[in-house]
Amino acid sequence: MVVVGRSNEPDAASQPQTILIVEDEIFIRLALADDLAEAGFCIFQAAGAEEALQVLQSSLPIDVMITDIRMPGALDGLELAMRARTAWPELRILLLSGNLADLPPGVLADALIAKPYNPTALIAQIRQLLNGAERCRAT
């Protein structure tokens, strides 16, 4: 799979960093997009895992993917995260879930965010990841 234009080292000074929001519920997606756009990020939106993979496979430069876990369609957020981590190891991945306790161990993500999310904490978490915070595997 060829990836064009994906940045390994996000340069906050020259370009806004880009976030792909993957969420099937439109008002949650819209709220996330509003919060993150107001924080200065460039936002792309996908309504499901298949759309997200289309965006990731395109030339759009995505720094961070925030994905809901439960989504309709053949792929859920966990499967999407696994495929994205394999194909684009530099991509930062945040998982959103209404029930983090139900997640299986060893989930491939850089951060887990509980829903309903706190916008301030979410933005801080994203900035931390983009600033090179060490990745950890959820246990």
Partner 1 sequence: MSSNVNPTMAGAPGTIVVVESDVLIRSAVCSYLRECDFRVIEAINAGEAIAVLKHLSVDIILSAVELSGPMNGFSLAQWVRARKPGPQIVLVGTATGAVNAAVNLCDSSPSSPESHQAGLLQHINRLLAERKSQCDASTQPQPPRAQTAS
- Cα dihedral 57, 61, 66, 72, rounded to 10, equals -30
**Which residue number, 61 or 138, has a Cβ lying nearer to partner 1?**
61
Tell me if residue 77 falls in helix, strand or coil: helix
Q: Which of 7, 37, 10 has its CA nearest to residue 133?
A: 10
Which of 7, 12, 15, 26 is close enough to bind partner 1 by CB under 8 A? Answer: 26
**Interaction between residue 99 and partner 1 (CB under 8 A):** no
Taking the least distance from each CB to partner 1, the nearer of 54 and 99 is 54
Shortest distance in whole angstroms from residue 134 CB to partner 1: 30
Residues 39-78 that bind partner 1 (CB under 8 A): 44-47, 51, 54-55, 58, 60
Alpha-helical (H) ranges within the chain are 26-38, 49-57, 77-87, 119-130
From 38-46, 64-72, 84-92, 94-102, span contacting partner 1 (CB under 8 A): 38-46
Q: Are 129 and 92 a contacting pair, CB within 8 Å?
A: yes
111-114/42-46 β-pairing? unpaired
Interface residues with partner 1 (CB under 8 A)?
Answer: 26-35, 44-47, 51, 54-55, 58, 60, 119
